[in-house]
Structure 1
């Protein structure tokens, strides 16, 4: 049995980058929600924070669904 180390390394790197991007998007969405709460506490609308959160969480959903599609389609 031979192990294709180059392919294994490639899968590891792609997985690591993908997870880091997904976590960064989710954390940015959480920060947007936090900005909205802070703005509303000060009497503002917080529309910018809400828009940021919606975009980031939508991107997270798209990435997760795309990953599931890649897994299921094979």
Structure 2
């Protein structure tokens, strides 16, 4: 089980979204939308995010955050 959701991990320290976006070369808004569940992360992106968080946020936790529109 994941230690954190992506949203929890990002909120732990101010500036984490910006740092992650820069380091992974992913748009800031895209990361925020993945964290909030509005966008589904492609597997490759989820793997990069999980590795960046040193697996504190798992690929499974990132996938589970997605909430499709009804």
**TM-score, shorter chain, exceeding 0.5:** no
Using CA pairs under 8 Å that are at least 6 residues apart, name the structure with larger relative contact order, 1 or 2.
2
Task: Give the TM-score normalised by the residue count of structure 1.
Answer: 0.26
Q: Which has the higher Rg, Structure 1 or Structure 2?
A: 1
Task: Give the TM-score normalised by the residue count of structure 2.
Answer: 0.27
